[in-house]
A and B are shown apart, each in its own frame.
Chain A
Amino acid sequence: MTRERRSSPQTLTLLAALLDQPRTWRHGYDLSSETQLKSGTLYPVMMRLSERGFLDSKWEASELPGRPPRRMYRLTAKGLSFAKEQLAEAEQGVLNKMRRARA
């Protein structure tokens, strides 16, 4: 079995935002505004998450007339457990660093 590598800080930020409202479908710009990740960072991260089956997506009609439909995203069940695991690992990493710094 291959060991999972730690996710990048940007991936963790996005996972945290998605985990915050796991059942809500959210569009890219909304996620970008919340996480402060620019589109150039956000989309590649979402692409990788989607390729791994962690991100579910669907098209939804825009609430604004005359605008194209929007793509909405949320974590899959697999993505939820991945996000929890990665965030817990990151938290543990920070705690270990703090302990080492104090020692």
Chain B
Amino acid sequence: MALAQMAVAMLPVSRREWRAAMLSDLEHIESDWLALHWAAGCVLVGIKERFRDMARGNLGVSRWILVAEMALCFIPLTIAWLDFAIGSWSDVPPAFAAFSLDTPGAGPALAAMLGGATIGVLGPVGLFVALRALFFGRRVSPMMASVLVVGPLLLGVLLFSAFATSSWLDTARDLILLSVLPGLGVAHLLALSKPSAGIDQNARLAS
């Protein structure tokens, strides 16, 4: 009984009636062994429903916290893009004097610079898409989501191959800031934009 009570305590408040129903069924089971099985199932229901509720984005997270989260996810890539596109190019003339493609490692570094300037544009684009989704409820299309996930990952690979000789700490930091965070931001946005209860229940029934 204690197990079942713990399980039903995990159920969201909106499932209050179901809590009572499960406990009531448990009270009618004569065999201890079957009751234990039933209670274990109730634990599973509690966990499933709690996770489902969380995935639906019903945590009551403030929109401003989500804006801060999206900024954290996309601003590093935006800054990197600015650096690749403006910062590095402004240094090109003096750098070019001493920098030739024959220099060891110059080719990959240049490729990473150009790639960064191209792919890094996904930083401001991602930020725009995220804010539009948060403030105007616009859904993130699968195509845009894929681009926002794959682009930064490509950039990560590019950076990794170009600057593999730099310290692993710097490489890991760059990979997290420029490749992992945008992906996580997009994943959270997609989770938040899932249809709420009652709209697409059939899809869940099928799962």
Contact = CB atoms under 8 A, between A and B. Distances in A.
Interface string A25-36: 001110010000
B18 A47 contact: yes
A40 B25 contact: no
B173 interface: no
B72 interface: no
Chain A interface size, as a band, is 20 to 34
A45 interface: yes
Chain B interface size, as a band, is 20 to 34
Contacts of A49: 205
Contacts of B28: 27, 29, 62, 64, 67, 70
A70 B41 contact: no
Contacts of A44: 45, 48-49
Interface string B10-41: 00000101101111110111000000011011
A39 B42 contact: yes
Contacts of A100: none
Nearest to B20: A71
Contacts of A51: 197-198, 201
A69 interface: yes
Where chain B touches its partner, the secondary structure class is: helix
A62 B24 CA distance: 9
Interface in A62-97: 62, 64, 67-71
Given A29-B29, A39-B22, A71-B24, A45 B40 contact: no
Given A40-B44, A47-B15, A47-B18, A68 B201 contact: no
Nearest to A8: B206
A23 interface: no
Interface in B38-81: 38, 40-45, 48-49
Contacts of B48: 40, 44
A4 interface: yes
Contact of A71 (B17, B200, B207): B17
B41 A69 contact: no
A24 interface: no
A33 B27 CA distance: 15
A70 B23 CA distance: 9
Contact of A68 (B24, B197, B200): B24
Interface of A: 2, 4-8, 11, 27-29, 32, 38-45, 47-49, 51-52, 57, 62, 64, 67-71
Given A8-B207, A51-B197, 4 more contacts: A29-B28, A39-B44, A42-B41, A43-B21
14 contacts: A5-B206, A11-B205, A28-B25, A29-B38, A32-B38, A39-B44, A43-B18, A43-B41, A43-B42, A44-B49, A45-B205, A52-B205, A67-B28, A71-B17
